[in-house]
Amino acid sequence: MHINTIKSAMNYTSSNTTLYYVNAAGSVNSHNYGTVNYNQSGNYDFIIDISRSVLTDGCTGIIGISNGNYSSILTITFGDVYLRMANEKGYRFTGIYSKGDSNELDCLDDQSYTALDYTATTGVLSSQDWNAAAVNKNCVFYVGGNISNQNTNIVTGSVCSKLALNDLGVDFFIPTGFTSTSASYSCTISGYKLLVLPFESDIPSGAEAFTLQLSATEMNCNKLRPDSKIPANIPVLIKGSGTFIFNGSGNVSTPHALKVNDLNVVYVSQKAPVGSYSLKIDNGVASFSQVSSGSEPTINTLSAYLTPSNGISSASIPLKLNVSTEVDYVLSGKKTTGNIFDIWGRQVYAPLKGVLYIRAGKKVLFY
């Protein structure tokens, strides 16, 4: 919550600052953040952490906030009030574009900014290249559809000529989806990597891709055919050694609160909550390790962490790599046109997630 101005006749503190919210079970709950000290100058953000690291029962809605002040009455004028996944930031420019504007320079120098919006700005040149100056090379820049700009990560209207992402530790998160003529993601892999791409991609030469489906005792990893596609916004396990470039095109998006087969997709780097599972490599062996309090790992952008819904609670979940039966392609559960059969030849009308089926002579998995 951005505080434009704040006034008080006495102290600039808020005692027993309490948030009332609706938890993941649909019940009303509250959390006391204790005493908050405010800067009386104003023009800053007042941030409340509503992640599972604080609200352990989850938060699906906010009812209100109160405090226990009885003498230091605070009068606050709020500006923008917004939710964010972690530390991502965005900025929308208006008026006539001025290269070197102080606000723009602040955004370009801050790797937390993942999107800058110039659609309401006039005077933007078709040659403008913000990516070259930005600290966050995964940042996306939106301009009006009347501007023909084909530089890296610039979205003209709803089309990006060239989207180039990397694994250099900066986040990728976009407020509005778009279509990319050419999209790529470059990364270095040493053994295994849990990857979620925001666009459909080819499998690079030298790498293997596996879909993931949790069973009662292990994580089943079904290998995709080398000539098939990695679907957008679906966690996959990549096996390989070296630097790889995943090339693709089409729709690009970063859906909010996306969970696929018990895997929580992460576009903005964040700590894995206690009790969840993160991918761990130990002596070349990959498994999902349960997260304990005080040692929560950071899940980087375009990855995921696991929260089992089947009641599994072991300290480690092993991976079972199924390489003998390659999957031809992966489909959304909504795309069930055509006759579908199980591996015994019986026709199926409601395919289950993560189960191998046959359609038109091809092996397919649904998610």
Residues 194 and 284 in one domain: yes
Per-residue pLDDT reduced to its tens digit, 74-112: 999 999 888 887 788 999 999 999 988 999 999 999 999
Same domain, 197 and 143: no
Residue 114 lies in a domain: yes
- Does 174 reside within a domain? no
Residues 278 and 200 in one domain: yes
Looking at the structure, tell me whether residues 104 and 55 fall in a common domain: no
- Both 97 and 10 in a single domain? no
Report residue 81 as tokens.
Answer: 């009030």
Q: Are residues 248 and 308 in the same domain?
A: yes
What pLDDT was estimated at residue 179? 97
Q: Does 240 lie in the same domain as 148?
A: no
**Statement to judge: residues 276 and 361 lie in one domain:** no
Q: Are residues 306 and 224 in the same domain?
A: yes
CB-count burial class (<10 Å; 0-12, 13-18, 19+) for 168: middle
Whether 176 maps to a domain, the answer reads no
In a domain, 169, yes or no: no
User: Which residue stretches of the chain have pLDDT < 70?
Assistant: 324-329, 331-338, 343, 353-354, 367
One-letter amino acid at 283 equals N
Q: What is the pLDDT of residue 353?
A: 65
pLDDT at residue number 155? 97
pTM over 0.75: yes
Same domain, 211 and 157: no
Return the pLDDT at 336. 58
Residue 334: predicted pLDDT: 57
CA-nearest of 337, 338, 343, 339 to 357 is 343
Residue with structure tokens 């979620």? 196
Structure tokens at 235: 């966690």
The percent of residues in the chain predicted with pLDDT above 70, rounded, is: 95
> Containing domain of residue 332, as a range?
328-367
pLDDT of residue 361: 76
Based on the domain organization, do 216 and 150 belong to the same domain?
no
Would you state the pLDDT for residue 256? Answer: 84
pLDDT of residue 367: 66
* Residue ending a domain, choose from 28, 44, 78: 78
**Residue 95 counted as domain residue:** yes
Contact at 8 Å (CB) between 89 and 47?
Answer: no
| Residue 294 belongs to some domain of the structure | yes
Q: How many domains does the chain have?
A: 4
Under 8 Å between Cβ of 224 and 326: yes
**Does residue 206 lie within any of the structural domains?**
yes
Q: What is the pLDDT of residue 325?
A: 63
In a domain, 175, yes or no: no
